[in-house]
Structure 1
Amino acid sequence: MISHHAALIYAMIIGAAADGSLADSELETIRGIVHHLPIFSDFERGNLPQIAAAATDMLSESDGIETAIGQVKANLPERLCATAYALACDVVAADGEATQEELRYLEMLRHDLNVDRLTAAAIERGAGARYARL
């Protein structure tokens, strides 16, 4: 069992690492989210590296993404499912380019967390607008 904080961090880390690499912009986005969003106000920020390492370790398993999504789903209250999806979208959008692997991860996460299409489309559009580049 992991905390809701860890579940949200897993959602972000797996999104960032889904394409096989962790871009600096993605890691900075995760750090910024953890430091600024109210949902993390009572999170012990010193635990971020350990939680991130645990999430990336899951990817070395043959079904690592599915396992990580299962952990996210099992440890989040329903009201935070759209939040997890939004945070994952922000991290994927942070480097300015979403790979096929990242998009597939987001699709899997959306389905498993039961985020409806309309909500997901709004979240995706918002992330794209926030991280747009010229």
Structure 2
Amino acid sequence: MISKHDALIYTMVITSAADQEMTDAELQTIGDVVRHLPAFRDFDVQTLPTVSAQCAEMLTEEDGLESVLNQVHAALPESLRETAYALAVDVAAADLHAAQEELRILEMLRYHLEIDRLTAAAIERGARARYRAG
């Protein structure tokens, strides 16, 4: 079983990788989140590349995405599920364009993390406000 930190990172990695391209802005967002958010206070940031690579490797396996989503759900306490969804939304918004594949991943995350539509809409609206270019 993965840790809660791994699960949060996995949500960001699968969102970034959804369109087959992990942009510099998305990778920067992931790094910034891990270095600065309280949810990662006791996480060793030096292991971020290893955790990200483990997730990417799992995605290449048969039913890899479903496996990752199930592990994320199992590893996250209910108190961190909205946080996980918010982090994934921030990664999708980081390059100022959410590809259709990223939107599909967010939909799957909403389902697996049991995030209701109203909460999801509020999280998404907050990200739009933070990442608006002008």
Would you call these one fold, judging by a TM-score over 0.5?
yes
- 1:73 and 2:73 aligned: yes
Unaligned runs of 5+ residues in structure 1 are none
What SS class does the counterpart of residue 70 from structure 2 fall into?
helix
Residue in structure 2 matched with residue 117 of structure 1 by the alignment:
117
CA distance in 2, matches of 1:129, 1:33: 17
CA contact (8 A) 1:92 1:102 kept: yes
Give the TM-score normalised by structure 2: 0.97
Aligned pair count reads 134
Counterpart of 1:82 in structure 2 is: 82
| Aligned equivalent of 2:105 | 105
Please state how far the C-alpha of 1:62 moved relative to its aligned partner: 3.3
Structure 1 residue 61: deviation in Å? 2.1
AA paired with 2:48? L
How far apart, in 1, do the equivalents of 2:18 and 2:64 lie? 10
Decide which moves more: 60-69 or 35-44.
60-69
Which residue of structure 2 lines up, in the alignment, with residue 94 of structure 1?
94
- Corresponding residue for 1:21? 21
Q: Give the letter aligned to residue 69 of structure 1.
A: L
**AA partner of residue 25 (structure 2):** S
TM-score by length of 1: 0.97
Q: What is the match of residue 10 of structure 2?
A: 10
- CA distance in structure 1 between the aligned counterparts of 2:62 and 2:132, rounded to whole angstroms: 34
Whole-Å Cα distance in 1 between the matches of residues 3 and 64 of structure 2? 19
- Shift of residue 63, structure 1, vs aligned partner: 2.0
TM-superposed CA distance for 1:94, in Å, is 0.2
* Stretch of structure 1 that moved more, 18-27 or 63-72: 63-72
Provide the rounded CA distance (Å) in 2 between the counterparts of 1:62 and 1:129.
Answer: 37
Q: CA offsets per residue over residues 83-105 of structure 1, 9 Å max, x none?
A: 10000000010011111110000
* 1:127 corresponds to 2:100: no
Q: Letter of the aligned partner of 1:40 in structure 2?
A: F
Helix, strand or coil at the partner of 1:105: helix
Q: Is the 8 A contact 1:8 1:84 kept in 2?
A: yes
Partner of 2:47: 47
